[in-house]
Amino acid sequence: MSSDISGYIKNKIHYLNVRIYYEDTDFTSVVYHANYLKFSERGRSDFLRLVGINHSELITQEDAGFFVVLNMYSEFLQSSKIDDILSVKSSFTSLSGARLNMRQDILKDNKVIFKAITEFAFLKKNGKPRKVPDNIINKIEPYLF
C-alpha cells in the first residue's frame, strides 16, 4: 500500500493514511480514544501543508499565529486495532473572521469509525484572537465546501 507521506487532496477533501502502532493502543486491545484526536490533527496539519501553510513558517513569520481548537464534537463509532491502516478525511466547512470550521471522518475498511466537527480560532503569539491573515484565507478558500 503506497501513499504520499502528506496524503493527498481530491474534490476539496484531504486524505491521510495512518498506521496503528503499539503506542496507539491500550490494554483493552483497541486504540485509546484520545488518539483519534491526534490522527485528526495529523490530517489537518497535512491538509494545511498541501495548500501551502506550514506550522514552522506560521510561527517564524512576522505575522506569527496559530490555529487552536476552540470546541469539538466527536463520535467514537467503532474501534480499531494494532496493524490497522486508517484513512483520515478532512474538509474545511467555513472560514470567517478569526474562526475556521472543519469536519473530519476516520475510516477503517471504508467504514467511518470516528467523526469530529471542530471549530478553531486563529491566535496571535500573545494568545489574543485575530482575523485570519489574508494570505492564509487565500490558500484555504479554494477548498471550502
Apex 53 CA angle, 17 and 128, nearest 5: 115
Question: All 3 cell numbers of residue 56?
Answer: 514552522
* Cβ-based burial of 39 (10 A; exposed 0-12, middle 13-18, buried ≥19): buried
- Closer to a second copy by Cβ: residue 13 or 69: 69
Judged by CB under 8 A, how many residues of this single chain contact a second copy? 48
Q: Does 109 bind a second copy (CB under 8 A)?
A: no
Site string for a second copy, 15-44 (x = CB under 8 A): --x-x-xxx-xxxxxx-xxxx-xx--xx--
Cα–Cα separations (whole angstroms), residue 135 to 35, 63, 132, 145: 31, 10, 9, 19
**Min CB(25)–a second copy separation in Å:** 4
Distance CA 137, CA 95 (A): 8
Distance CA 8, CA 31 (A): 24
Q: Return the residues of window 45-84 that contact a second copy according to CB under 8 A.
A: 45-46, 49, 54-56, 59, 66, 68-76, 79, 81-83
Q: Does 2 bind a second copy (CB under 8 A)?
A: yes
Per CB under 8 A, residues contacting a second copy are 1-6, 17, 19, 21-23, 25-30, 32-35, 37-38, 41-42, 45-46, 49, 54-56, 59, 66, 68-76, 79, 81-83, 85, 127
